[in-house]
Amino acid sequence: MKVVIIGSGNVATVLGQRIKEAGNEILQVIGRSEEKAAVLASYLNCSYATNLLQVSGAADLYILAISDNAIANVASELELNSKLLVHTAASVSKEVLAVASDNYGILYPLQTLKTGIAYALRIPIVVDGSSTENISTLKAFASQWADEVIVAGDEERLKLHVAAVFVSNFTNHLFALAEQYCNEEKLNFRLLRPLVEETIRRIEMVSPSAVQTGPAVRNDTSTIQKHQSLLSEHPQLLQLYNDLSNSIFSFYSKGID
């Protein structure tokens, strides 16, 4: 498939690499920054431009890999007639693309993408389209290079994004708070990394609810009180500790469906 990528950031770079390695032809990169667009175009062995008026008309698929709040504006500046246009966002309806083309859809990576990662990244892709034919086309296309492909409409995709915020953004913030606490208390945060790895390894095999540990799930009030005393000088952490402990206790005291 011949592809034009509009965007030159992390998503454009990682998806562009996957798409090209699967045997597709990247015709062009469009980016606001000439420097970034030129670098990505060189990497993907294609041409580049910084003006939407210069978009090639020879592609089969046009991918908007740009920030969520820019999608509607960029789409309104495109005139692709019947060419297939997709965006990569979780929280933006596919319908914003209808102004640019009769054929449009979604190519959403359910993964946090970062250029320069040295290991093989597992990337599930969520697709949707304005017709069953477009959905079939995008499923076949993504299956070439994605680790898993699922079909989900706007509402289901947004719900997946909510869950993703919990497992990625919120979890990483807890890591950052734990690291900050360790630094303030002259502790070595690196000692916790094997524990993080084991926690992730376990949920590869069973439900997270089946492997919950800690004083809250045991209702170990003695240990909880000791922790609360230690955290008295860290009010933000103490509040978060109490909220999460109460959530865990409530979750398991009611039983699991």
DSSP string for residues in the chain = -EEEEE--SHHHHHHHHHHHHTT-EEEEEE-SSHHHHHHHHHHHT-EEES-GGG--S--SEEEE-S-GGGHHHHHHT---EEEEEEE--SSS-GGGGGGTEEEEEEEEESS---TT--SPPP-EEEEEESSHHHHHHHHHHHHTT-SEEEE--HHHHHHHHHHHIIIIIIHHHHHHHHHHHHHHTT--GGGGHHHHHHHHHHHTTS-GGGS--SHHHHT-HHHHHHHHHHGGG-HHHHHHHHHHHHHHHHHHHS---
Examine the domain organization and report whether 87 and 65 are in the same domain. yes
The pTM of the full predicted model, rounded to 2 decimals, is 0.90
- pLDDT single digits (tens) 102-124: 999 999 999 999 887 656 789 99
Per-position b or e across 199-234, b if 16+ CB within 10 A of its CB: eeeeeeeeeeeeeeeebbeeeeeeebeebeeebeeb
Which among 112, 131, 152 is the end of a domain? 152
Examine the domain organization and report whether 116 and 168 are in the same domain. no
Predicted pLDDT at 255: 59
State the Rg of the chain over Cα.
23
- pLDDT single digits (tens) 148-179: 999 999 999 999 999 999 999 999 999 999 99
Q: In the chain, how many domains are there?
A: 2
Predicted pLDDT at 179: 98
> What domain range is 243 assigned to?
158-253
- pLDDT single digits (tens) 173-228: 999 999 999 999 999 999 999 999 999 999 999 999 999 999 999 999 999 999 99
Task: State the average pLDDT for the chain.
Answer: 95
Examine the domain organization and report whether 116 and 173 are in the same domain. no
Which among 132, 152, 172 is the end of a domain? 152
Examine the domain organization and report whether 109 and 205 are in the same domain. no
Q: How far apart are CA 11 and CA 237, in angstroms?
A: 33
Examine the domain organization and report whether 117 and 201 are in the same domain. no
- pLDDT single digits (tens) 124-133: 999 999 999 9
Q: How far apart are CA 105 and CA 152, in angstroms?
A: 11
- pLDDT single digits (tens) 12-51: 999 999 999 999 999 999 999 999 999 999 999 999 999 9
Strands 124-129 and 101-109: antiparallel
Examine the domain organization and report whether 148 and 62 are in the same domain. yes
Examine the domain organization and report whether 95 and 176 are in the same domain. no
